[in-house]
Chains A and B, each alone.
Chain A
Amino acid sequence: MINADDPLVPGSGLRIRNLRVGYGPVQALRGVSLEAPSGSVVAVLGANGAGKSTLLRAVSGTLRFHRGAVTAGEIEYAGRPLSRLSAAAVVARGVTQVPEGRRVFTRMTVAENLRAGALGGRGRKETAAARRRVLELFPVLAERAGQRAGLLSGGEQQMLAIGRALMARPSVLLLDEPTLGLAPLMAARIADTVREINAQGTTVLLVEQNAAMALSLASHAYVLEVGEVVMSGPADELAASDEVRRRYLGEIDPAEDTDEATGAPADRTVLTRWSA
């Protein structure tokens, strides 16, 4: 197991340099560079199709499931390259992802899902310690241990997905849209949890469309647009910038407003059913 508690050694975090990713002829990332120093929370903002999930897939080594490949550039963690590794090897290095849409194993129980999260790790003691930590963080998972994961509410499934990823005792946690489709109250709870996970020493790379939430958590943020980083900087500076406020923080001009409005009501009907 890789030790998560390394102090902030310069260059010891996750580092992506000039990354290019293609799905066949389609270029999804065109020279993205990004750094998540050890112990930080870094956010990646962007609209649908900007390449956010592709970025996380490239780090986790799951591009091949989508017939994609890294065509150029470097991904390094703790000074060692990750780019050519299999998904399992990336987990073994201490980099774990919570995929978009939660993707819990619906036919397995909550306890089995957590167990699945520890499959890449070694050692019963470590796993037991990880389980204790996860159940402390999400007591509801202990209550629901014997229930099928498919029967949990959306928020509970997100907690399970995060808990499952923590079972591997990652030193870097990649989160893909953890608040997507959740009620505001639940989204705030997830945000608190992310803060707590980070406080316990885990580096977090957070991909979000919910810019307000992401910028409140992160120390540093990047804005992706059509496969390129168009803006980056300290989170508070970005939050104050006009362009980000206009595009991502809901202070929008009318043209884009209608765009947003068509997506939102549909989400909300689903949500009321989930929280019922």
Chain B
Amino acid sequence: MTTFAELLLNGISMGAVYALIALGFVIIFKASEVVNFAHASLLLAGGFLVAELHPSIGFWPALLAGVAGAALLGCLVEFLVIRRSKAASHSVLAIVTIGVDIILVTELTRQIGTDVMAMGDPWRDKVLHLGPVSIAQTRVVALLIAGVLITAFLLAFKYTGWGVAMRASAEDGETAALMGVRLGRVSLGAWAVAGALAAVAALFLAVFPTPGLDRTTGVIALKAFPAAILGGLDSTTGALAGGLIVGVTEALMTGYQSEMAFLGRGIGDVAPYLVMIIILLVRPAGLLGTRELTRV
């Protein structure tokens, strides 16, 4: 039971981090109608900035710089690549983002080399004991910060003018433009927010118990992809649900691996994709993907 509680808590915490990444996917998809395969490189860039800067300027300023840097990089990709190729179809644009990803990751890999970079976080390897349950402090912080960010995001999405503009242009861009919404600005904002969230996620993917940030950290962002898809690529709450499902599934499957030895090792890494495929077979639009609510 203790193991289960520990695994579940860890899973939820990782799930919250995946949800941060998945939210980024979703809002970019909603605002620019692009499936952004360059998300992994935004994440890696944000994490790299934090790791690179913290020895000289301290952890919190470095985190801020990482978040700002990833947001800026997101804006640059939108402004220099996505916006310029407005004429291309959306599937072509998705492939373009793969190209962007390869370019960015190649450069970052060159910078990082074979290093495993420490993030310089104040939580280090401390472990929190809640009765019999032990959990890394970083995981608790990750859950709290991700929770706060996700709540703030969802509230802003629901209640602010920015949120209304985002939803309006996601539903019908032309009509939103007729209402005076500047679509370019909405799209730029989405990329910036997605980059910022990815940088925060990068931090928590690279702290204890992970040894640190290395050139493969970005690959973990790919796990957030099934999270976004199974939640419904155009649903923000779906991204949240998807993130948690992926996090918990992964944690439980990894934790009980020895009891399921017949499945072989590494089932935890595969499980999120299996879940995604099963859910998509039952609900093609994802758990909370759009079902039109119209009376005809």
Partner-B contacts on A (CB < 8 A): 60-62, 65, 86-88, 91-92, 96-97, 99, 103, 105-108, 112, 115-117, 119-121, 148, 150-151, 153, 164-165, 168, 273-274
Residues B179 and A120 in contact, CB atoms below 8 Å apart? yes
B247 to A: closest C-beta gap in Å: 28
Further pairs besides A99-B175, A150-B295: 17, Cβ < 8 Å: A61-B177, A62-B178, A87-B180, A88-B181, A88-B182, A91-B179, A103-B175, A106-B294, A116-B168, A119-B165, A119-B179, A120-B179, A120-B181, A150-B294, A164-B179, A168-B179, A274-B295
- For residue B158, which residue of chain A has the nearest CB? A112
B240 to A: closest C-beta gap in Å: 18
With A and B bound together, what is the CA distance between A128 and B295 in angstroms? 30
Tell which of A62, A86, A119 has the most Cβ of chain B within 10 Å: A119
A123 to B: closest C-beta gap in Å: 12
Residues A87 and B167 in contact, CB atoms below 8 Å apart? no
Given known pairs A107-B171, A108-B171, A150-B293, the reply for A99 and B161 (CB within 8 Å) is no
With A and B bound together, what is the CA distance between A59 and B170 in angstroms? 23
Judge whether B174 is part of the interface by a CB distance below 8 angstroms: yes
With A and B bound together, what is the CA distance between A166 and B12 in angstroms? 46
Residues B295 and A107 in contact, CB atoms below 8 Å apart? no
Chain B interface bracket (under 10, 10 to 19, 20 to 34, 35 or more): 20 to 34
Judge whether B259 is part of the interface by a CB distance below 8 angstroms: no
With A and B bound together, what is the CA distance between A110 and B9 in angstroms? 40
Given known pairs A62-B177, A105-B167, A105-B175, the reply for A86 and B182 (CB within 8 Å) is yes
Tell which of A92, A96, A116, A151 has the most Cβ of chain B within 10 Å: A116
Contact partners of A117 in chain B: CB under 8 A: 179
Q: Per-position contact with A for B137-179: 1 when CB-CB < 8 Å, else 0?
A: 0000000000000000000000001001101100111111111
With A and B bound together, what is the CA distance between A164 and B175 in angstroms? 11
Given known pairs A150-B292, A150-B293, A150-B294, the reply for A116 and B165 (CB within 8 Å) is yes
Contact partners of A96 in chain B: CB under 8 A: 178-180
Partner-A contacts on B (CB < 8 A): 161, 164-165, 167-168, 171-182, 290, 292-296
Given known pairs A151-B293, A151-B295, the reply for A91 and B178 (CB within 8 Å) is yes
Contact partners of A151 in chain B: CB under 8 A: 293-295
B166 to A: closest C-beta gap in Å: 10
Residues A121 and B180 in contact, CB atoms below 8 Å apart? yes
Given known pairs A91-B178, A105-B175, the reply for A148 and B165 (CB within 8 Å) is no
Can you list 7 contacts pairing A with B, beta carbon distance less than 8 Å?
A60-B178, A96-B180, A105-B175, A106-B171, A108-B164, A168-B179, A274-B295
Residues A106 and B292 in contact, CB atoms below 8 Å apart? yes
With A and B bound together, what is the CA distance between A237 and B221 in angstroms? 69
Q: Of B172, B180, B296, which contacts A120 at CB under 8 A?
A: B180
A167 to B: closest C-beta gap in Å: 8
Contact partners of A273 in chain B: CB under 8 A: 296
Given known pairs A65-B173, A148-B293, the reply for A108 and B168 (CB within 8 Å) is yes
Residues A105 and B294 in contact, CB atoms below 8 Å apart? no
Contact partners of B161 in chain A: CB under 8 A: 115, 119
Tell which of A61, A87, A103, A112 has the most Cβ of chain B within 10 Å: A87
- For residue A116, which residue of chain B has the nearest CB? B168
Residues B180 and A119 in contact, CB atoms below 8 Å apart? yes
Contact partners of A87 in chain B: CB under 8 A: 177-178, 180
With A and B bound together, what is the CA distance between A253 and B173 in angstroms? 42
| CB-CB nearest 6 A-B residue pairs | A120-B180, A91-B180, A87-B177, A150-B294, A65-B174, A116-B168
Residues B177 and A119 in contact, CB atoms below 8 Å apart? no
With A and B bound together, what is the CA distance between A218 and B74 in angstroms? 50
Residues A92 and B174 in contact, CB atoms below 8 Å apart? no
B188 to A: closest C-beta gap in Å: 14
Contact partners of A62 in chain B: CB under 8 A: 174, 177-178
Residues A108 and B180 in contact, CB atoms below 8 Å apart? no
